[in-house]
């Protein structure tokens, strides 16, 4: 909502621009103050405040303030940033889905295409040449690493997911030039993963890091064979159960899997068809 207001400022009349800037400066206060005080702080009339709300797509001031309050609400600590303790099931459904969809669309517009292209080329080359692709993650990111391994090994490449800290060190030490180490971290502050990244880098493997752009782990991706797929989101790192960050990381894995599958040799496709056939045979009971 705030991004939409920010983008609409150039198209608004000067008086309504002042209202928009007041919203962006302190959205929490705007959602709670009466129209008289909002008009005084913006140096506009009360009707101008209402016109601004309608100009940016809302029914009026009441509708705008209600949705603004929901947009900037930090929700229940450690659970979810959008929901409140007294929300009904219908409200939770809408808020959780809207929060996820908003994050996905925002990432779609912010994703660095050149970084993805470098990562896709590196992974496809490693897959074609029979090198190793290791996915590293701890905690919730370890689950994403397992999902990545599950998707990539079905393409016929040597893919492994490692979430134990000691095994990660041993695995990274055995990497070689031409292998890929994909490190997944929500915060980018995990000491274990930073150590693994440094080991993989010394071993000459291509380092692909999926993490927050301003994290210590991201700062390790500076040279030619180190790639940062930055994933920034509004969810802080103290959530008891990360949601949006996990969805974004899974989406990044899906993008990489799809692109790599299209760049691998066509002679691997019969194997994928055979896998599908064998799985189908196990899924359904045969008629007697």
In this predicted structure, the answer to whether residue 113 has a pLDDT above a threshold of 80 is: yes
* CATH superfamily membership of 112-265: Glucose-6-phosphate isomerase like protein; domain 1 (3.40.50.10490)
The answer to whether 162 and 145 have CB atoms below 8 angstroms apart is yes
Backbone angles phi, psi at 53, to 5 degrees: -60, -40
Band of pLDDT at residue 82, cut at 50, 70 and 90: low
Instruction: Give this prediction's pTM.
Output: 0.69
Residue 77 has a pLDDT of: 47
Q: Which CATH architecture has domain 1-72?
A: Orthogonal Bundle (1.10)
Q: What is the pLDDT of residues 56-79, one digit of tens each?
A: 888 889 888 887 876 665 544 445
Where do the domains of the chain lie?
Answer: 1-72, 112-265
Residues 158, 118: Cα–Cα separation, whole Å: 19
Contacts of 126 (CB under 8 A, 6+ apart): 132, 133, 157, 178, 179, 180, 206
Residues 110, 105: Cα–Cα separation, whole Å: 9
Q: In what order do the strands lie in the sheet with 180-184?
A: 158-162, 132-136, 180-184, 206-211, 226-230
Residue 183 has a pLDDT of: 97
In this predicted structure, the answer to whether residue 222 has a pLDDT above a threshold of 80 is: no
Band of pLDDT at residue 248, cut at 50, 70 and 90: very high
């Amino acid at each position: 909502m705030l991004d939409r207001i920010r983008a609409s400022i150039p198209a608004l009349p000067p008086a309504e621009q002042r209202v928009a800037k007041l919203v962006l400066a302190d959205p929490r206060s705007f959602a709670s103050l009466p129209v008289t005080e909002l008009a005084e702080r913006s140096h506009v009339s009360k009707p101008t405040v209402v016109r601004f709300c309608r100009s940016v797509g809302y029914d009026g001031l009441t509708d705008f303030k209600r949705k603004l309050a929901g947009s900037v609400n930090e929700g229940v600590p450690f659970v979810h940033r959008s929901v409140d303790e007294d929300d009904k099931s219908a409200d939770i459904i809408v808020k959780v889905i809207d929060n996820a969809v908003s994050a996905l669309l925002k990432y779609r517009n912010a994703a660095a295409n050149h970084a993805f292209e470098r990562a896709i080329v590196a992974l496809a080359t490693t897959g074609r040449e029979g090198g190793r692709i290791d996915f590293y993650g701890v905690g919730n990111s370890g689950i994403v690493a397992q999902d990545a391994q599950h998707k990539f090994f079905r393409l016929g490449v040597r893919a492994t997911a490692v979430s134990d800290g000691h095994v990660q060190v041993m695995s990274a030490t055995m990497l070689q030039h031409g292998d890929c180490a994909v490190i997944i971290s929500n915060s980018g502050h995990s000491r274990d993963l930073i150590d693994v990244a440094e080991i993989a880098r010394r071993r000459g493997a291509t380092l692909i890091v999926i993490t927050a752009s301003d994290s210590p782990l991201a700062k390790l991706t500076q040279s030619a064979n180190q790639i940062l797929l930055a994933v920034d989101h509004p969810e802080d790192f103290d959530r008891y159960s990360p949601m949006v960050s996990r969805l974004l990381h899974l989406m990044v894995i899906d993008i990489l899997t799809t692109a790599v599958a299209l760049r691998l040799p066509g002679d691997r496709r019969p194997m994928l068809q055979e896998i599908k056939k064998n799985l189908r045979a196990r899924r359904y009971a045969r008629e007697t």
